[in-house]
């Protein structure tokens, strides 16, 4: 089997090594930024909120619907201590 050279694949491999119970958001691998660990807690996936919104818009949602979908289906999901963290960079300020 040929290995996947994508950055997301490398991030996922690292994440599995550090925390095999970490939650990955299906369909958003290209929005992975890396891994993050809060002192004394599990290593989890780190996603770009901006990239997720852009991906939702590429799938046909307008910006408001993309944010609505993100808040209700991703950010507010109860994923426990192994759930991912989100990084939102506000470029407007």
The residue ranges of every structural domain in the chain are 7-87
The band of 90, judged by pLDDT with boundaries at 50, 70 and 90, is confident
pLDDT > 70 in the chain, percent? 91
The band of 81, judged by pLDDT with boundaries at 50, 70 and 90, is very high
| Average pLDDT over the chain, rounded to an integer | 91
Reference 70, options 88, 43, 44, 93; nearest CA is 88
Report d(CA 92, CA 25) in Å as an integer. Answer: 27
**pLDDT reported for residue 93:** 54
Q: Are 2 and 61 in contact (CB under 8 A)?
A: no
Predicted TM-score (pTM) of this structure: 0.86
Q: Is 13 helix (H, G, I), strand (E, B) or coil?
A: helix
């Amino acid at each position: 089997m040929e290995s996947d050279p994508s950055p997301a694949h490398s991030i996922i491999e690292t994440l599995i090594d550090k925390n095999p119970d970490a939650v990955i958001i299906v369909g958003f691998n290209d929005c992975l930024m890396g891994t993050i660990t809060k002192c004394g807690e599990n290593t989890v996936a780190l996603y770009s909120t901006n990239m997720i919104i852009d991906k939702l818009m590429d799938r046909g949602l307008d910006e408001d619907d993309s944010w609505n979908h993100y808040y209700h289906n991703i950010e507010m999901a109860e994923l426990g201590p192994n759930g991912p963290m989100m990084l939102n960079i506000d470029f407007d300020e």
